[in-house]
Structure 1
Amino acid sequence: MIKKVTLEEFPLFFARASTGTSFQAQIYSVKGGNNVRVRCNWRYSELTIDPDNDSEFIWNITKINDTHVSLSPHNSCISSTIYASVRDDYDWSLLTQAPHSANWITAVDRNETLEMHIGDLMISTFKGFNGKLLQKDDNITSQEGHKGYRLRSAGNNESDNTTWFLSVQNIASEGYEWSGGEVSINELRNSLKKRNISLQNNQLEELCGLIN
């Protein structure tokens, strides 16, 4: 029998799940805008938010232990699985290739281990091994004909720049199925208020659209 997991039930489901359990999700900043993606071979295949690309980009989020996960693109740039890596040798950016050598990162070690906290409505935070929150840069980076907002493990406080919405697409665990849920703007506003985050109505509407 398939057990359906709702939006409300997911945090507890994943907390109780065994190591190695994974789910697929798109990742969005609560501030709005497009999803987090990897642009293959751009700045060592860096994680960015491309303002000109709103196409689907799915991440595999895999449980390492009770508080840590790895992130890997569902559709890899190469034939092997690659992982998001917090780089202390590249301004704390998240890359999927090692700086300078450009070797693909195909295993999980310290740099690829992210602390993740899932709150209600799938509002979440991530931390790198340096204890800093994963944040979206305020300024866009343009290079080699491409532009995007970089993601870096550099945030000190929880804010709209360091808080993310996980748009779950699938649970890769036998016997379970994602069933989603619906939320009102007021419920979303109150949830974010608990985190001392205040968004404009148009931002709340955009985020509600992703959830619902």
Structure 2
Amino acid sequence: MTSTVSSVSPSGVPRPPGRLRRAWATAHSPVAGVPRWARSAAYAVPLVVLPSSLWRVLVTFFDEDTAGKTGSLPSWLPGEVYVVLLSVLSELVAFTAVGLVAAWGEVFPRWVPLLRGRRVPTWGAVVPAALGAVVLTALWTAASVAEAAGVTLRGEPLPSDYPTAAGGWGAAVFYVCYAPLLLWGPLLGAVTVAYVRRRRGLPPTGPG
């Protein structure tokens, strides 16, 4: 027999949501005036980054051919630690797109020292978001073109142990995991435009 925890207290009063659930709702709940397409685009950004992050972690820890390789990393930084930190950082950076539709992108949350409760300057959010959208679009487009040409971003031939070199399922999985990164910049750019229009009091535009 299994038991479930009721969301209603014995007195009939609904139980308050757990701390984790409240934090999740606070971080993701859109503010008034956010068009549906912008909300969907913002939520999609961390998802398009996730497959490549998972691929890096899984290959690093479970692929015997890559285990122990550090490449050009300094000797004091294990490759496994670097990959995990890079993947976590990528997801955190991607998650900032959600701030462009949520309340914490307009008012600094309580956990931000000195700035808590203050209004987020519109251009203080727009400038880094717009720059990020441009850089990410250029970076992943250039990386895709270079990879298709068989060279690195520096113009050097791809190494023999490049993930797609062996072909087959390994190459297919690599492409499936990394192809969504092409959407990161455009999605962020679209959400940034919606953020600017909302903060300036302009009517929303776009699909939906």
TM above 0.5: no
TM-score by length of 2: 0.26
TM-score by length of 1: 0.25
**Which is helix-richer, 1 or 2?**
2
Higher relative contact order (CA 8 A, sep 6+): 2
Larger radius of gyration: 2
